[in-house]
Each structure stands twice: as C-alpha cells, then as structure tokens.
Amino acid sequence: MTEPEEKKDKFQPRIYIDKEGNWYQDGIPILHRWTYLYNNKLLRRDEEGRYYVDEGSGRVYVYVEDTPFVVKMIDKRQDGFFIILNDETEEKLDFNLLWMNDENIPYTRVKNGEFEARFSRPAYYEFTKYLKQEGDKFYIELDGNKYDLKAKK
C-alpha cells in the first residue's frame, strides 16, 4: 500500500450522519437516546473541516451527508424565534445567520456559529407561516425589523 492510500484509509469514517440527523455506526443506526445525545455533544471539526467525535482516547471521524444538526421545530415567542435541534438543545434563531439553498431549504448556523443546521420539513412549514413577501423577495418581520431570506453565496 502506498503512503497516500494509508493516509486516506486512516480517515475513512465509521460513523455517518444522514441529512435527517440520524447517526449510524458501521451501517447500524444509533438508536440509544443517550448514546445519540452524547455523540452530538462530542462532535467537533478539525482544522481541515472534517467532523469527528473525540471521547478522549482519539478521534473517530464522521461522514455528514448534509449538516450534522437539523432544526426539528421552530417556536415563536414574545422575545423571538427559537429553534429546537435534533440533539434536543434549543437556541434563539439569529436571522443574520439564516439563508436558503438552491432548493429553498433554510439553513442557519448553530452552536456559537461552529456548525450549520438544515431545517426539517415540519420546521420549514412552521417557519413559512411567518414569512412575508414583497415582490420576489421573502422576509420575516420581528420587532419592526425586516430580515430578508437570502441565498447562500
């Protein structure tokens, strides 16, 4: 085996996260709730942008189909919009970190901007209840401010 092949094999991920936020190890779904939540908590990115889980004994690299985090629900409250993620955490939605992809799926940055999160279909439908349209542009109005939904550059 040549040197580049050895390096490539070293980073073959055993863990996979699908676009719905479901985790798999060696092709087997991780269904145990506490294991799932623990893995989400330990998820990091290396200097090359690869995802990994580090339990202290070393890095286990993770292949992510789209984003590691998924917005499962959105909740409009008096002090803004809050998103509930697939790891059962909750964050206030920052409209300055929100964008739409080419397929009109909203995304945002989460976990202090470290990760991206894709809106699930139910969260997206809930979100669209608050969208307003002006010409061909869509926006959210909150506290007298307009936040345009923009495409990611």
Kindly report, residue by residue over 4-24, the tens digit of the pLDDT: 544 454 556 789 999 999 999
Average pLDDT over residues 94-101: 91
pLDDT for residue 40: 96
Average pLDDT over residues 40-50: 94
Q: Kindly tell me if the per-residue pLDDT of 149 is higher than 90.
A: no
128-145 burial by CB neighbour count: b if 16+ within 10 A, else e? Answer: eeeeeeeeeebbbeeeee
In the chain, the domains with their CATH numbers are 3-64 (3.10.540.10), 69-151 (2.30.270)
Average pLDDT over residues 127-153: 85
Rounded Cα–Cα distance for residues 94 and 37 (Å) = 24
Whether the full predicted model's pTM is greater than 0.95, yes or no, is: no
Rounded Cα–Cα distance for residues 130 and 149 (Å) = 12
